[in-house]
A = this chain, B = another copy of it.
Amino acid sequence: MSDKVSIVFAALADPTRRTILSMLLEDDMAVTDVAHPFQMSLAAISKHLGILATAGLITQEKRGRVKWCKLEPDALREASIWMQGFGQFDRIDLDAFERFLETELSPPADHTP
C-alpha cells in the first residue's frame, strides 16, 4: 500500500485521526494538547500523529520541548481530486471524460452486458 493516495485515504479512515485534523483546522497544537480530549494514551496519539505526518497531512516542528503539529491541507489535494471525479461526475462533462478513457487508456477486459 505504498502509493501516496492510498496512504492518505488510509490515514483518513480512522475517526481519531479525522478528529485530530479537525482540531488542527482551528490552530496549531502541541502533541500533549492534541491528546488531551482523547481517552487513549499519549503514545497512541503520538502514533496517530506519525501516521498523519507520513501521509503529509500534518507537519511537526519541535520548539523547545514542545512539538507543534500543523495542518497541511494541500496533502488532501490528490485524494480530493480523485474523489470529486467520481462523486460529482454527473456535474462535469462525463461524455468527454468517457471519450478520454476510451481513446487514451488501454481498455480493460471486454464486458458486453
Contact = CB atoms under 8 A, between A and B. Distances in A.
Assembly of this chain: how many copies?
Answer: 2
A87 B98 contact: no
A88 B111 CA distance: 25
Q: Is the interface of A mostly helix, strand, loop or mixed?
A: helix
A21 B111 CA distance: 15
Given A27-B111, A109-B36, A9 B12 contact: yes
A45 to B, nearest CB: 12
Nearest to A91: B92
16 contacts: A3-B15, A5-B15, A6-B13, A12-B83, A13-B13, A18-B82, A25-B86, A73-B86, A76-B83, A77-B87, A81-B93, A81-B97, A82-B97, A85-B100, A92-B92, A105-B105
